[in-house]
Amino acid sequence: MMEEGEFSVELDLAVRIVHLVCTLCQKVQKSLLSTGAHQINSKDDDSLVTVAVFKLLLAGYFQNHLEAKMYPLSLKRCTNSLKSDLLLAVVKTVNECFSEAPRFGLKLPDVPLKPNQVIEAIGRCNSSGGPKGRHWVLDPVDGTLGFVRGNQYAVALALIKDGRVVLGVLGCPNYPVQKGLVNHQVTSEIPSATPDMWEKGCVMYAKRGTDKAWMQPLVHGELKLDSFESAISVRVSAIEDPGLATFCEPVENATTVTLSQKGNMPLRVYSMVKYAAIARGDAEIYMRFARAGYKEKIWDHAAGVLIVQEAGGVVTDAGGRPLDFSRGIYLEGLDRGIIACSGAVLHEKIICSVDASWESSLL
């Protein structure tokens, strides 16, 4: 269902856009896998950035409909990569995507976009954020390695008003709608699931102050104007004992923190899918402690944080303070890292454990 009231129009449109982009991402991912592009291993490789360029164009185009600005995602690198044949290929892909927009209830011009319009669309993504005004925050492909390897990734869109996240939409094209299909031992692969379950995916969304978060199966047919009946509410796990909790970890370079004797196997997934896993009760704890000098970007967290919070979870820095989305494109002033938990009781226990072990070898 879609909530009424303030921002309901923006949320409705944002959900439709994320459905559209997820459908396009699935097609591109299949194409990558069929051509062997999944063998690429470096996230810094320019070729990986160009994979996501056309989704950035969607952001630049749709901002006219959403009447707000958007943050760039590696804008300079993406713009420099759009040359000759690549630019034409990107334009072709974007126009093919737009031709499917009416299926999702999105009205677009009948005239195809031209290359100069594509470049212009990228240039519109120029907001620097801040404590005033409305800003749309987009991450068109969060989890690039997961994307090129045929694994988990996310499409994230959030609206910030006066420094607070008010809407969050998280598309997870490879995350199963049904619980219990994720293999917690190694990665997010689903060996026992049928292909249609793997490909179906889901879209989660939330609006600040409703104490509700929703999930829909990824749409493959027509998303009608009144067809949000397929959404179901999601809620965080009720587990309060760290010894029974499941941690979300990166697939590679996972941080191991011993908080219990039981030692549940972690759920290792790429991208903001970690937030989705906590929001719907597949896991209870996600801790992120970045390397020294690294600044967390707001588009890597905004949508997921709000969805977890409205689903009943708690997300703060390691000192227990709320994340500040009002200071530009970075989460400035973080105390050590970010901790997301399925509830206040568990969160307090994890904060205390982090404080107790911070000077030891456990972190």
Question: pLDDT tens across 7-32, in order?
Answer: 888 898 889 888 888 887 777 777 66
What span, in angstroms and rounded, lies between the C-alpha atoms of 351 and 16?
Answer: 37
**From-to residues of CATH 3.30.540.10 in the chain:** 8-231
Give the mean pLDDT of 176-196: 54
Question: pLDDT tens across 223-243, in order?
Answer: 654 555 678 999 999 999 999
Confidence of residue 195 (pLDDT cuts 50, 70, 90): very low
Question: pLDDT tens across 136-159, in order?
Answer: 888 878 887 888 777 888 999 999
What's the token pair of residue 255?
Answer: 């941080």
Report whether CATH 3.30.70.580 matches the domain 8-231: no
Res. 176: pLDDT tops 60: yes
Q: For 113, what's the count of Cα atoms within 13 Å in the CB-facing half-sphere?
A: 28
Confidence of residue 339 (pLDDT cuts 50, 70, 90): very high
Provide the pLDDT for residue 359: 66
3-state secondary structure of 187: coil
- Residue 351, φ and ψ in degrees, nearest 5: -60, -45
Provide the pLDDT for residue 193: 44
Q: Tell me what the pLDDT averaged over the chain comes to.
A: 76
Confidence of residue 131 (pLDDT cuts 50, 70, 90): confident
Q: Where are the alpha helices (DSSP H) in the chain?
A: 8-34, 46-51, 53-66, 75-81, 84-99, 115-123, 144-148, 195-200, 273-279, 302-310, 344-357
Provide the pLDDT for residue 141: 82
Res. 253: pLDDT tops 60: no
What's the token pair of residue 172?
Answer: 């997870």
Give the mean pLDDT of 260-272: 73
Provide the pLDDT for residue 52: 39
**From-to residues of CATH 3.40.190.80 in the chain:** 242-357
Provide the pLDDT for residue 17: 85
Is-contact 31 92, C-beta < 8 A? no
Give the mean pLDDT of 95-108: 79
Confidence of residue 279 (pLDDT cuts 50, 70, 90): very high
pTM value is 0.82
What's the token pair of residue 198?
Answer: 């793997």
What span, in angstroms and rounded, lies between the C-alpha atoms of 92 and 177?
Answer: 31
Give the mean pLDDT of 288-307: 92
Question: pLDDT tens across 80-98, in order?
Answer: 555 566 677 767 777 777 7
β-pairing, 338-341 with 232-234? unpaired
Question: What secondary structure letter does DSSP report for 218?
Answer: P
What span, in angstroms and rounded, lies between the C-alpha atoms of 203 and 12?
Answer: 12
Provide the pLDDT for residue 181: 62
Res. 324: pLDDT tops 80: yes
**Nearest C-alpha neighbor of 4 from the set 230, 225, 168, 207:** 207
The CATH code of domain 242-357 reads 3.40.190.80
Res. 188: pLDDT tops 50: no
Is-contact 18 171, C-beta < 8 A? yes
Res. 358: pLDDT tops 70: yes
Question: pLDDT tens across 62-80, in order?
Answer: 555 544 444 444 333 444 5
3-state secondary structure of 336: coil
Question: pLDDT tens across 33-63, in order?
Answer: 666 554 444 444 333 333 334 454 455 555 5
Res. 276: pLDDT tops 80: yes
By mean pLDDT, which of 30-44, 175-189, 209-223 is the weakest?
Answer: 30-44
Residues whose CB is less than 8 angstroms from the CB of residue 205 and which lie 6 or more positions away in sequence, other chains included: 11, 14, 15, 18, 167, 168, 169, 170, 213, 214, 216, 307
What span, in angstroms and rounded, lies between the C-alpha atoms of 43 and 66?
Answer: 30
Res. 346: pLDDT tops 50: yes
Res. 203: pLDDT tops 80: yes
What span, in angstroms and rounded, lies between the C-alpha atoms of 158 and 188?
Answer: 25
